[in-house]
Chain A
């Protein structure tokens, strides 16, 4: 049970859920990590410990519990800052998830900066969360939403970027750092370089990248950056938005309420400092604290090792899958350009039928449009099946998956 890079046996012991049996007493093979990852006992204990010993609201009260809770909550902010290598902790805003982060930017920054006739440029391989908020904004402002296309290898056609930038109407380019369907890693450096030459702002949806590879924001040099805790061993309900201080200071708040104010009078309010200006109401304290333990866990392993492990597993799985007659794989074969996500179809078996069959063998994969219907249209399919890996997955599990695919083939008489 070992790839060359990390000791999986030790890791698996930290995930109690991996011990359970599913369906007819089959060991769980969890390959739906692009949707959400499992949680190590360290994360579960940290949330448990907060509620058991120092549950309290943060920032306001002076009693000891509040002091401890505030310190633990704010410590997570410091750890996130270190994890993605940013200098100013006040540029990090805790939100519910990537979806809320993008909506915050669309609502607060977009409404102030996008005018009639402007262009918001996204791509054909976006999750709905990086499409719908921009449709809402551009419809309201009579602006345009345009798309960078995807080629047959599942990579962005970057020539189209320059054509749009040349119009002088693009206000924002927003893209997924790693496609949740194809696993393609976007050439973010190139896009950001081109955009900044023209003074165009860039948002990076890092929901699929930060959990799986080292990301250094001082090198990446984007303007907005968003990701979710639950896709990287952390709890649900916590996400991070990072943006440059100068931009955040000029943005109107997203939600109004407690904690985000300096002074409230009958008809006027002044805003609190960053990041609190964007954290109205009692935040998700317990889960932000739990996220801290997830960051520690990943730091401990090392993100380069996480990436190496996933490359090794993905390569292994792709090789085995290619031996199955009738399989259609989506995305680039170049491992340098893809993460641990494999989308595929098998013969004329609909992905939902396939997922039902292999679920009987304990294998959990995703089937459907993966919240990426624009990409499904581009690929000319109604759905795909998707297997996605993480640090606790093994080659033995890939073998179970492959055997199960062959059983599905037999059932469908292919």
Chain B
């Protein structure tokens, strides 16, 4: 993918004007992670109500791809069924970003948000729902992202 394809107006817009940027007090799900290779940071907060995502916010520092990806992911999951959110894949995220062919050097930037989301769900499912079987599966998916 060329830079002209990557840094489209929409990516730059989400980078400069991130939607759902901020924090939630006492969220049901809270997770922070960083990419040790580049230092990008991301924290995600989620509230659930009747098994639906009732609120989601993120804060972070990093490149246009990582921040736009996080912001777009929050929009994607807002109001959605928790089962749907649990099943999101790498392909879903890249599709959502409009960057299906991102190269190996930058794919980690795009997937950091999904990694934070999956680890957040893992903690929630294992600690608050005590469902170790599905928690382990989610953890495996998260660690397999990059």
Contact = CB atoms under 8 A, between A and B. Distances in A.
Interface of A: 348-353, 356-357, 360, 367-369, 373, 376, 382-383, 408, 411-413
Contacts of A411: 3-4, 7
Contacts of A360: 2-3
Contacts, number: 47
A200 to B, nearest CB: 33
Interface of B: 2-4, 6-7, 12, 16, 37-41, 61-65, 105-106, 109
Given A353-B63, A356-B105, A412-B12, 16 more contacts: A350-B64, A352-B40, A352-B63, A352-B65, A353-B65, A356-B3, A357-B7, A360-B2, A360-B3, A368-B38, A369-B38, A369-B39, A376-B39, A382-B41, A411-B4, A411-B7
Given A348-B16, A411-B3, A411-B7, A353 B39 contact: no
A200 B109 CA distance: 45
A373 B106 contact: no
B40 to A, nearest CB: 8
Contacts of B6: 356
A207 B4 CA distance: 37
A384 to B, nearest CB: 11
27 contacts: A348-B16, A349-B64, A350-B62, A350-B63, A350-B64, A352-B38, A352-B63, A352-B109, A353-B7, A353-B65, A356-B6, A356-B106, A360-B3, A367-B38, A368-B38, A368-B39, A369-B39, A373-B39, A376-B39, A382-B39, A382-B61, A382-B62, A408-B3, A411-B4, A412-B7, A412-B12, A413-B12
Given A348-B16, A382-B62, A412-B12, A357 B3 contact: yes
Nearest to A376: B39
Contacts of B40: 352, 382
Contact of A352 (B12, B41, B106): B106
B14 to A, nearest CB: 13
Contacts of A373: 39
A345 to B, nearest CB: 12
Count chain A CB atoms within 10 A of each CB in B7, B41, B63 and give the residue with the most. Answer: B63
Nearest to B108: A352
A353 B3 CA distance: 9
A383 B38 contact: yes
Nearest to B16: A348
A263 B12 CA distance: 67
A132 to B, nearest CB: 13
Residue in A349, A353, A368, A369 whose Cβ sees the most chain B Cβ within 10 Å: A353
Nearest to A350: B63
A357 B105 CA distance: 12
A368 B3 contact: no
Nearest to A358: B3
A314 B31 CA distance: 43
B109 to A, nearest CB: 7
Contacts of B109: 352
